[in-house]
Amino acid sequence: MSLTIIEADASIPQVEDRPLIIAHVTNNFGAWHRGFVLDLSARYPEPERKFRSRGSRYRLGEVQFVQIKAHKGLYVANLYAQRSRVYCVPLSYDALKQALEKLARVAWRINATVQMPCLGMGLGRARWDRVRDLVKETLSDHGVKVIICTRNFPTLEPDPQPPFREN
């Protein structure tokens, strides 16, 4: 399929002709108060409510899917891939890969596009090249259309011709 990088707000759906899953990284220690989740919560209350009801019960690598009731075909995927900020890089690349693989299976099954911010680039302190390659390897290389939105990451320019884009 394809992986497209655009300058847009990942919390605003960019497609309307098929189901859409907005995916983002979250932690498994119960914090939901900084980063992309603020934009998400401003638009859709369900993901935060669901996270707060079970947030710390998830292991790294798991995914919590939340259907947005007011928007038919819209889902949010809380990807549990961030760990405590104590003495380490919070984003776990292994956990992110596991969560993305689970996301890919669901997206492929319901023929959904996956839209996301630049995962792990804020609080997760991740390396963009590693995250981008994981997204490509687990999602777009397996037939899932992916849109990465860079609005809140000015250091990441939208790539007009990513080497792996298929048109």
Distance from C-alpha of 74 to C-alpha of 56, rounded to nearest angstrom: 24
For residue 162, what pLDDT is reported?
Answer: 39
pTM for this model (two decimals): 0.85
* 15 compared with 108, residue with greater pLDDT: 108
Encode pLDDT of 35-45 as tens digits.
788 888 899 99
CATH code assigned at 36: 3.40.220.10
H-helix or E-strand spanning residue 3: strand 3-6
In a domain, 100, yes or no: yes
Distance from C-alpha of 1 to C-alpha of 165, rounded to nearest angstrom: 8
Q: What is the mean pLDDT of residues 83-95?
A: 72
In a domain, 155, yes or no: no
In a domain, 157, yes or no: no
The count of domains in the chain is 1
Instruction: Find tokens 């993305």 and name the residue.
Output: 100
Instruction: Band the pLDDT of 158: cuts 50, 70, 90.
Output: very low
Domain of 135? 3-149
- Statement: residue 85 has pLDDT above 60: no
